[in-house]
Amino acid sequence: MTLATLREMTDAITTVEQRPDTERVFMQLKGAAQRGLLKHKDTHGPKGAMRFPLVEVALARVLMRALDSGMSGEDMKVFADALRVEVRRALPDGKHVILSLDEAVQTIRKKRWTLEIVQSRDEKGTQAATILWLPNGVRFGEPDPMDPDVFIPGRVIEEIRFIPFTALVRPILDHLIAKSGA
């Protein structure tokens, strides 16, 4: 199992994405870890640094994207928890498909994953977000919020965001795997 410290994550992200803001990336990752948004393994690096599995590296990169898009710190915990939820959908042939962060990371080389985030508001002004994992663009019976005929009773769709999960995360994971020799 490939594990990465916060510094190794930072190196992978800034190297792969050719980002000059190494310290800013590190501080974002460190903040996410300190707030408990990232779950580390009980193993530590050579200097005692916490080590994180690849699924947490993927989560960290998505959280960085959300933060850069203006998501508040208080919403990050809710978002991180929602990303960890596993959804099972029954297929017509009786098989099931799993839609989750873990599944997306495990099958990232076989499927093109997109993360869809739909923000809506009810009549009292309460905001809510729903998250849908889309492997290869397949919706598995979920309505398309881009369709003007889609109606959510009591809610108004205000915003839809798409995160190209595979394109964003896979190069970083590949870099970490290559550096670990796994």
* Calpha distance 175→173 (Å, rounded): 5
Query: How confident is the model over 17-56, as pLDDT tens digits?
Result: 999 999 999 999 999 999 999 988 766 666 778 889 999 9
Query: How confident is the model over 106-160, as pLDDT tens digits?
Result: 999 999 999 998 888 888 888 878 889 999 988 877 777 778 777 777 788 888 8
Helix, strand, coil shares of the chain, percent, nearest 5, are: 40, 25, 35
Distances in Å between the alpha carbon of 117 and those of 45, 145, 180?
35, 10, 33
**Token code pair at residue 59:** 């989560």
Instruction: Record the pTM.
Output: 0.88
Contacts of 120 (CB under 8 A, 6+ apart): 127, 128, 129, 130, 152, 155, 156, 157, 158
